[in-house]
Structure 1
Amino acid sequence: MRSARREKEEKRAESPSSSMAVVADWSQLPKDLLNLISERIDNKFDFIRFRSVCSSWRSFSIPNHHHISLPFKFPNLKYKRNIFLIKAPQQQDETLIRPWLIRVTQNSSGKIKLYESPLISFELPSTFSFSIDLYKSSVHNLGTDFIFDEPYIQPEKVLAVTPLTLAILLDNGHLVLSRCGDDCWTGIPDVSSFIGDIGDICIFKERIYAVEEKSSKTVTIGPEDLSVKLVAKDVHGGRPDIQFMVESEGELLLVDVFESFTDLGFQLQVDVDVFRIDEKEKEWVKLKSLGDRVLFWGNGCSFSASASDLSVAKGNCVIFMENVFFKKNKICDSSMCVFDLDQGRLLPLRDYPDYLNLFWPPPPSIVKSMHKTKKSMLSCIKRFLM
């Protein structure tokens, strides 16, 4: 004879309500919770998507709430620049829909400009207009940097350590901090005890990393207490002409670029080495391959993405902006170049259609409407390729 408890459990299992998932009514979220969510949205694209969820979210989230973001509490900040990867939802027939890489610049008044490439600094002509269906597309922020407006000093790189602290690499190779509310910049004197002129800075695990120009010796700086710690020794045999750091899949990578020239100053060869940091051993470990990863380095920014996210056939490449290499470069005469680590050579972006299509033209699946004269279209593409 079955027990009463067993019969009760069987009846509960047979009940229709027990097999049905509870559907949450997101429109009824408390206003204080909605406020906490909206305060953590750091770009206007995501804010638009947030307001598109339902009418109650839209009526609660006033646009002026995000009119001026925290970084613009700094009086000398001129622009905030974001790199976005816009992806349309994949179709059920599994036809590959390519994404679009764009750079969006926002000034202190909230005005936004779109540039045709995240790596170069001229904007699209005024004859170009379009709309993006942000409700159907996903928007991924790959990187952010800032432009400082200083009449006498032009910073090489400006990064946000926290919403109220900026790290500024000056053109003389020195690093300073700018804190919201301070009247002047804060120097970090202990850095000079470890390294000389700084070649690049990066924010990794909420700390500032600074690499010494040429030697690649690297330190980390605490943004609050300004403590300095050596995290990587010199890279033996290396005096790179160009170097930059980038976070990629939870690792901090260093890219060293070497150029060789003829006696007349014409470029013969470009070589690229990529390292990952091993803080336990205090060294940069050379990588044989990036695998699926693609690294980008451009005008004040560096970022990383996987080949699968970019919908390209292969990774293991580094994409460079215009004016990176010597003007007498006879290897790559294009403004944008790709170094393929599999082949060990530098080639124009136009030789890699998969990568070129990330920038231009915009995918029809993402851009809802576009109006542009044929003449300006051709001019735009010519500038982009050459």
Structure 2
Amino acid sequence: MSAAISAPDTLPSRSVLQALPQPIIVLDEQHKIQFVNYAAEAFFGASLSVLTRQKLDDLIAFGSPIISLVETVVQRRAPMTEYRVRIGSSRFGDERIADVFASPLSDVDGRVALLIQERTMADKIDRQMVSRGAARSVTGLAAMLAHEIKNPLSGIRGAAQLLEQTVSSDEVPLARLIREETDRIVGLIDRVEVFGDERPMEREPINIHVVLDRVKLLARNGVARGITFFEEYDPSLPPVFGNRDQLIQVFLNLVKNAAEALERTPKPEIRLSTAFRPGIRISVAGVAERISLPLEIVIEDNGPGVSPDTLPFLFDPFVTTKTNGSGLGLALVAKIVGDHGGVIDCDSRPGRTRFRILLPVASGAFQQSSYEVSTK
């Protein structure tokens, strides 16, 4: 906010504030909440009638810089901004990072309006762009080394096979170990080479629920045997323009990761959900038009969660929490999602891990207006 605003009591002002996608809170001189818009109700998970019975101090964590921001705005009678504030509240389980804009109301002393711009999605999209840059680096490395490495490995494997036939029975396990490890390295190189595959893929309008049903069928008869599945599907979801096999690969990989994370969970559950959200529009350098991503697909499990130290780098190549993991599975998932024009993020805490994928609708399908997050 660059200037003081009027009180929200008049109908035009109230309509404008209600239309904004960012949470708006109006406080009196005692920090008591006088008004919140619809976005603020959704942000804090409470209705207008509940929130207006509270003070700001009751709503956010003790010692929050937002309190001092409000006090300074009142003293100076001038708008101020606090960037990257951690907002904690008993109404949502984890902290959220946001920019908070505060402005005094022009007609009443002591009253302040707060606008909250959550940074989560913008930061995650920025991180996606960094991850894709890292993936492109892996692509260059794969193209340069794959041929040079595979040729000698082929010779080593052939020699190991000959040794298995000629050495004594006591030495056969060692020869077999050489062959198996050679096969493992070749398999790893093959997976890295996937990042360099820039061939155009065949696409068509895909019903994402058909893909998820296929993934569930495969998982229930394999890695996720014994795990309870729940589905919450939006039956009116429009199709996505994509490649069926690659989308199955994406969601099967995510379900497989969830199943492996649930190995020690007493009552393991995986929840698959879809929804048509207002979504976001992202602005990407080099692309003239902003991209709308209203299709939301979520894979959620009730496992132990992802380490906070690992979470920001989860989609980078060679980052893994598994003892024998290659660290390429989620990097490949992010690449495929990116190739489909979408983004993926992960929100995790003990007892709940959510992988959320946002995708564009197929051309010609109904698209809903959405708010914008710039990544330029």
With structure 2 as the length reference, what TM-score do the two structures score?
0.24
Structure 1 or 2: more helix by fraction: 2
Q: Which has the higher strand share?
A: 1
TM-score, normalised to structure 1, is 0.24
